[in-house]
Amino acid sequence: MPELPEVQALVEFLGERTSGLVVTGVELGSISVLKTFTPPPQALVGAPVDGVSRHGKFIDIDCGGTHLVFHLARAGWLRWSDAMPATVLRPGKSPIALRVRFDDASGFDLTEAGTKKRLALYVVRDPLDVPGIATLGPDPLDEAFTIDVLASILQQAGRAQVKGVLRHQGTIAGIGNAYSDELLHAARMSPYLPASSITGERLEALYDAIRTVLGEAVERSRGLAAADLKGEKKSNLAVHGRTGLPCPVCGDTVREVSFADSSLQYCPTCQTGGKPLADRRMSRLLK
């Protein structure tokens, strides 16, 4: 799933490619991805692209005051083409959810792999009409996101586990499963640590990790073509998705805790004093 750094890079990529262009076609391959009724997607046709921006993990293309907003969810992706195929997309079982065309023959497809369709598309006059945007927490790379802001977020979260707090979009915008694993590894912190216990040096370590890990990922992703972003993200992760592989910092074996529809990865030596975390699924299996 693309998170803040990849979405930011996509926004910059789209902003450059679509600057000065006019939308000439909007085709839906899947009706269920569209979450709004008015204005209709056809309202975008004929409109100039005035800018592309990011709200958390949402991408917002401002087309003459009508906004095309989308969230790529877990298995969604954007495929840019300098020369779009002439075939008109029709609603059906296509992995392509949306096709947008511009007046220089370029355009993009939003695709979604897998059976669970979570990709979400909105056509709105105001981005704040998108419920997921209206409720977003502060952006961790925004200047206003100071260490005091993080401290107050953690105190308000009380005994909730820090991993969940970092991922919750209404608390902090843009961080998902992968980067929360990475931030906690960089901060040498257990994902199960109660949020309100993070003060003093730990707070500083977590704040630094957020700014450094996300900031560096944005820098690495910047300027890459949409097609190259996925590989770039994967090749630079220290623990996320690396169960069984050596930790790049200490060499210990990266471990995993599984949940119903996700998993987290961590390094015991770097993060939990060498102790493996309880894995409820594993212990259930052993009973």
Residues making contact with Zn ion (CB under 5 A): 247, 249-250, 252, 267, 269-270
Closest CB to Zn ion among 14 and 206? 206
Q: What are phi and psi of 99, to 5 degrees?
A: -125, 130
Cβ at position 199, least distance to Zn ion in Å: 24
- Which residue has its beta carbon closest to Zn ion? 247
When the beta carbons of 217 and 270 are compared against Zn ion, the nearer one is 270
Q: Tokens for 114?
A: 């897998």
Shortest Cβ 249–Zn ion spacing (Å): 4
Residue nearer to Zn ion on the CB measure, 110 or 239: 239
Closest distance between Zn ion and the C-beta of residue 244, in Å? Answer: 14
By C-alpha distance, which of 229, 216, 230 is closest to 12? Answer: 229
What tokens appear for 142 in the block?
């925004």
Shortest gap between Cβ of 252 and Zn ion (angstroms)? Answer: 5
Q: Which is nearer to Zn ion, 99 or 255 (CB)?
A: 255
- CB of residue 266 to Zn ion, shortest distance in Å: 9
CB of 22 to Zn ion, least distance (A): 51
Interacting residues of 12 by C-beta distance below 8 A, sequence separation 6+: 52, 222, 223
- Least Cβ distance, residue 54 to Zn ion (angstroms): 31
